Structure 1
């Protein structure tokens, strides 16, 4: 990305965009995001993997609506799998996808179970590599 492109797109962190691009190529890493005072922590996953898991969750509903939603998600799986071999300059990334995500707020975390999460990269205020669930108490 040129300096001119970086100046134009200050809404999104260019380094976070690069991490998402790497994830979309198939690399999964722990990440913790700060978004307007809320912390979201989980595993950064490829966009196609997000839609694979979403499809599985919809299909598990066991009804016609679930099957229909699963089929719609499957279309994105195929589309995004084709993108993973493209160069960074050919793909615009606008969303970040996490699995096993948890929210942490000043009042505590919620929900207790981890979940699938998708958010806009431009809404992320800051991030660190590693998820909070990976950390252990040293004492």
Structure 2
């Protein structure tokens, strides 16, 4: 699964761009240049997703690409936490902990955007959920 949310950059009369995310009404930023908008968008997306993860708020999977939109990825820690949450689906954290033969707090940390799980741990979690861990550089 690709964890990139789409944003549109709307030119402003006074210059610069207003950036809004298509999947989130409460997430937006701005910038003077497209490069600044891309940077600011990744920062605000990371922050908003972190807060939603920490507060246990439902997060939608990224919507389809829309013509003229930009695909924005949050930082790697947030991506890892979201991947675990999305892959877990309806399974409880207790079920995941049992499948990993670990404690509930250890399973919960996999969905904590402040936690940095090892690749070995992510690979084990993926296997426990019937998935396969795949890495990529961009």
Question: TM (normalized to structure 2)?
Answer: 0.26
Question: TM (normalized to structure 1)?
Answer: 0.26
Structure having the higher strand fraction is 1
